[in-house]
Amino acid sequence: MESMAAAVFDGKLYYVQDYPQPQIKPGWAKIKVRLAGICKTDMEIMKGYMGFKGVLGHEFVGTVEACADGQWIGKRVVGEINAACGHCDWCARDLGRHCPNRTTLGIVNHEGCMAEFCQLPVVNLLTVTEEIPDERAVLTEPLSAACEILEQLPVSGKERVIVLGDGRLGIFCAWVLSTAVEDVTVVGHHPEKLEVAKWRGIKTTLNEKDLQPGADIVVEATGSGAGIVSAMALCRPRGTIVLKSTVAISGDVNLAPVVINEQTILGSRCGRFADGLKVMRNHPDMPLDKLITARYPLEQAQEAFGRATQSDALKVLLEINKNISLTNPD
């Protein structure tokens, strides 16, 4: 069995050069990874989330190395991270992202993309067009997660929106919403991150007390359980609170305001990659490059994860293939 270099988690993060390459399953493709992104979920896995062990990573752009369907060979691709069974009721409803039998790249029973190679079902792959460079394409997964809000929640464009959280997810949500809504404000604690968030007239503030309550939509993307309390206070009666953070709330939370104000709470998770790629094509001026804090070669995965945990970090990338020519964002 051929081996490959990989960033592997087994209670501790390791860089290894002799990890087994994925063996292609029928209907799947083997992908040579070009760039991979470090996500908060990856860092939560290292704290025990989902009990995952193996190759980390679910954000990538790569080139199809091997596939039974020859038309995919050599194509530059990104891939939906949930590998659904294709046979259950959820799959029949085109909701494979909720398939109870799914595996999830680098998260649940599926080796991830922080390696020279990964594999996904061919039906999960989307071709990346030439106008989208690697360093933008690698952000398809988190951008698509932000696009999920607009799939779940139709808007007129006249709503007042508040996004709580100035991390990468909050910024993605604000950017996507600003393509459909005129009034978007981001609340955060880091002036440098709020500066990055400014695009298409997005407003920012360091103090939520400066905001007028009564927003039509409040997006909770703080990564903190306290965010839901702030969201309830800022959302108008019969408004909508969108929960994007997958952080467990510890202790008691008084949900009476939700009942009293008849607020709708909307959970929002993965999005369709086609939507993320469409946003990139339609808005080439979206400043995605400003989110890239640093890049490291795969062999420096431990250093890269260390950088990603620092408070000023937005997105840290791993360069997998040495033949990629990229400009330094610093």
12 pLDDT higher than 90: yes
Examine the domain organization and report whether 14 and 116 are in the same domain: yes
The pair of structure tokens assigned to 266 is: 């909307």
Residue 276 lies in a domain: no
Examine the domain organization and report whether 127 and 174 are in the same domain: no
**pLDDT tens by residue, 188-203:** 999 999 999 999 999 9
Return the CATH number at 181. 3.40.50.720
Examine the domain organization and report whether 174 and 239 are in the same domain: yes
Per-residue confidence (pLDDT) for residue 269, from 0 to 100 = 86
Residue 137 lies in a domain: no
175 pLDDT higher than 50: yes
Per-residue confidence (pLDDT) for residue 251, from 0 to 100 = 62
Examine the domain organization and report whether 112 and 49 are in the same domain: yes
Per-residue confidence (pLDDT) for residue 193, from 0 to 100 = 95
Examine the domain organization and report whether 210 and 158 are in the same domain: yes
- Residue 8 and residue 106: Cα distance in Å, rounded? 10
**Segment 113-135 mean pLDDT:** 96
For 308, what's the count of Cα atoms within 13 Å in the CB-facing half-sphere? 22
Per-residue confidence (pLDDT) for residue 188, from 0 to 100 = 95
Place of tokens 């890269």: 304
Inter-residue contact 82 to 96 (CB < 8 Å): yes
Tell me which residue range forms the domain holding 157.
147-267
Per-residue confidence (pLDDT) for residue 44, from 0 to 100 = 87
Per-residue confidence (pLDDT) for residue 249, from 0 to 100 = 57
Examine the domain organization and report whether 101 and 207 are in the same domain: no
Residue 214 lies in a domain: yes
Residue 305 lies in a domain: yes
- Residue 233 and residue 225: Cα distance in Å, rounded? 14
Residue 78 lies in a domain: yes
Examine the domain organization and report whether 262 and 305 are in the same domain: no
User: Looking at the 3D structure of the chain, how many domains does it have?
Assistant: 2
- Residue 330 and residue 262: Cα distance in Å, rounded? 47
Residue 168 lies in a domain: yes
**Segment 243-259 mean pLDDT:** 77
pLDDT band per the 50, 70, 90 thresholds, residue 329: very low
Q: How far is CA 172 from CA 120, 158, 321, in A?
A: 25, 20, 27
Examine the domain organization and report whether 51 and 115 are in the same domain: yes
Residue 140 lies in a domain: no
Examine the domain organization and report whether 81 and 109 are in the same domain: yes
Examine the domain organization and report whether 76 and 187 are in the same domain: no
- Residue 176 and residue 179: Cα distance in Å, rounded? 5
Residue 272 lies in a domain: no
Percent of the chain at pLDDT > 90 equals 83
Examine the domain organization and report whether 300 and 216 are in the same domain: no
pTM comes to 0.90
Examine the domain organization and report whether 190 and 246 are in the same domain: yes
What are the counts of helices (DSSP H) followed by strands (DSSP E) for the chain? 10, 18
Return the CATH number at 46. 3.90.180.10
286 pLDDT higher than 50: yes
